[in-house]
A = this chain, B = another copy of it.
Amino acid sequence: MPDQVTVIGGSGALGTGLALRLAVAGVPVVIGSRDAARAEEAAARVREQVPGATVTGLPNGPAAEASDVVFLCVPFRSQSETLTNLKNHLREGQLLVDATVPLAAAVSGKATRTLGVWQGSAAQQAAEMVPEGVRVVAALHTVNAPGLKDLGATLDEDVLVCGDRRADKAQAAALIELIPGLRCVDAGRLEQARIAESLTALLIGVNVRYKTHAGIRLTGLTDRPW
């Protein structure tokens, strides 16, 4: 059985879908939420859809402590506060996979625009805020959350993975690629997350115009093992 993973923000759209799809893939999942009851509710919904799945709900702190790999799937509005509250729960050696997109919607602006983040990207802000020794990669920004949440939907998307160490990206990719239809692409250093994050804003506009849930694929890539 694969190692357990934690999904913080697991009651939001992306987090719920990710937890669900990982559970289908046989990965034990801990769903973290600010509110313990909401976390447990989200976990119960996954268990209902995936009989036999090992999914539990916990408040963010204990949830973050529970696994070596922690996915952070919160709105940008909550990212900084969440990481501040996790300072005493995250520990050296863990891998944080940040999926935060600094949409201007966080300050009631347009979801087709991003905010400028001082560090360059939400992922770099996360890297600055985690305790020393916690590794950070960025991924999953562009993945269509409704498609993840709908087990009847066939996924057909690439996931841009950014990070400063190849081994960290490979570790995140190995987990994400347990979900059929998702291929991870090494998109470069963590600083490239600003591009992957902003691409999400462009896709949100495309979704509105085309009434769809668009994803991206990179063409011309020879398959390369991580």
A residues adjacent to B (C-beta < 8 A): 112-113, 144, 147, 156-157, 160, 185-188, 191-192, 194-196, 198-199, 201-203, 205-206, 209-222, 224
Contacts and interface: CB of A to CB of B under 8 A. Distances in A.
Contacts of A206: 185-188, 218, 221
Contacts of A192: 112, 201-202, 205
Contact of A219 (B157, B187, B194): B157
Contacts of A205: 187-188, 192
Nearest to A153: B220
A73 to B, nearest CB: 20
B203 A156 contact: no
A120 to B, nearest CB: 10
A70 B65 CA distance: 58
Number of copies: 2
Given A195-B201, A202-B196, A219 B156 contact: yes
A221 B216 contact: no
A187 B202 contact: yes
A217 B217 contact: yes
A157 B217 CA distance: 9
A187 B202 CA distance: 7
A14 to B, nearest CB: 16
Contacts of A214: 218-221
Given A112-B192, A192-B112, A217-B216, A222 B202 contact: no
A216 B213 contact: no
Contacts of A211: 222
13 contacts: A147-B220, A186-B210, A187-B202, A187-B206, A192-B201, A198-B198, A199-B199, A206-B218, A206-B221, A214-B218, A214-B220, A214-B221, A216-B217
